[in-house]
Amino acid sequence: EAQVTQNPRYLITVTGKKLTVTCSQNMNHEYMSWYRQDPGLGLRQIYYSMNVEVTDKGDVPEGYKVSRKEKRNFPLILESPSPNQTSLYFCASSPLMINTGELFFGEGSRLTVL
Amino acid sequence: AQSVTQPDIHITVSEGASLELRCNYSYGATPYLFWYVQSPGQGLQLLLKYFSGDTLVQGIKGFEAEFKRSQSSFNLRKPSVHWSDAAEYFCALSLGGGFKTIFGAGTRLFVKA
């Protein structure tokens, strides 16, 4: 089944404790992206990647890191989480060859930073 | 600057009634427009998309949307709402090249019996 898989789905952590949210897709998509969803703000892009070893900042990259060492994986790293990073996070992928921007989403990871 | 506006934060409709969710966009080039639906606890699922051609597009679950360039709008419609349609709906604009998608703030739909 074609899918985007995120882990963990739920996480409660404390300020400053490094964490990684993993994202993996099995559709051989070139493009992957991370979004955060906050009430009243919709989805805002954190980082995106056009292909392996190619990443770039989105609209709200502060406090986050990403890497793209393999085509299927695009982990989101919070080196020193803070309470304002409490949010619902979505990973998405897209086949760039089609070049339409249609996104395939994971089920989301709800992060709480205390 | 590019933007997507969904004027209604939430809408309540009766089951069986018609539905229209509004979306306005701002973009200087030809837009790629999407509607996604998010059910509680789920990720976003594509309902329909507009790239070019026919301005009335059909999607899944009985939804349709009409692109109106003169009004910079892409409103979502359904003739008869079912209780299972209760969810949050997002309008989105993909910029050229597909590397960036801008989302509206979302409209939460409540369906009453």
Q: Going residue by residue through chain A, which has 114 residues, state the pLDDT in tens, using 9 for 90 and above.
A: 889 999 999 999 999 999 999 999 999 999 999 999 998 899 999 999 988 999 999 999 999 999 999 999 999 999 999 999 999 999 999 887 666 678 899 999 999 999
- Over its length of 113 residues, how does chain B's per-residue pLDDT go in tens digits? 889 999 999 999 999 999 999 999 999 888 889 999 999 888 899 999 998 888 899 999 999 999 999 999 999 999 999 999 999 999 999 876 667 889 999 999 999 99
pLDDT digits (tens, 9 = 90+) for B86-113: 999 999 998 766 678 899 999 999 999 9
| B101:A101 CB<8 A | yes
**Chain B, nearest residue to A43 by Cα:** B103
Any B CB within 8 A of A107 CB: yes
- Looking at CA atoms only, how far is residue A16 from chain B in angstroms? 27
CA distances from B21 to B36, B46, B76 (A): 12, 15, 5
Nearest to A101 among B90, B98, B106 (CB): B98
Pairing between strand B24-26 and B3-5? antiparallel
Chain A partners within 8 Å of B51 (Cβ): 100
C-alpha B84/C-alpha A48 separation (Å) is 33
Chain A partners within 8 Å of B101 (Cβ): 33, 45, 101, 103
Q: Token pair for residue A90?
A: 């979505």
Contact A56, A46 (CB under 8 A): no
Any B CB within 8 A of A88 CB: no
- Looking at CA atoms only, how far is residue B60 from chain A in angstroms? 15
